[in-house]
Amino acid sequence: MRTIALGMALIAGVAGASEDAVQLKESAGREAVEANCSMCHSLDYIPMNSPFLDRKGWEGSVTKMIKIMGAPVREDDVPIIVEYLTKNYGK
């Protein structure tokens, strides 16, 4: 039992450490993305999905996060987030 608990603690520590390593590209809108997106998931989701998403894809992803997943993103932040993601992580 102690071995399982130690293994789980190590895995949690590694997962937490890898989340801190994600640094989004410096550009206008980065703060809005970090503030809004990191409330629900790690920021590695952004570069991980970037090969697949163009502007329309990022718009759909942000809309899904708000309408389906319930992310509390301010309406004024949506175009800023989409622009940042498209410019820096769009295909």
**What per-residue string of b and e applies to 48-68 under the rule 16 or more CB within 10 Å gives b?**
eebeebeeebbbebbeebbee
On average, the pLDDT of the chain sits at 85
pLDDT in tens, 39-81: 999 999 999 988 999 999 999 999 999 999 999 999 999 999 9
For residue 2, give Cα distances in angstroms to 11, 14, 26, 40: 14, 18, 43, 31
Q: Are 90 and 58 in contact (CB under 8 A)?
A: yes
CATH of the domain at 37: 1.10.760.10
The residue range of the domain holding 26 is 2-89
> Do 5 and 69 meet the contact criterion of CB atoms below 8 Å apart?
no
Number of domains in the chain: 1
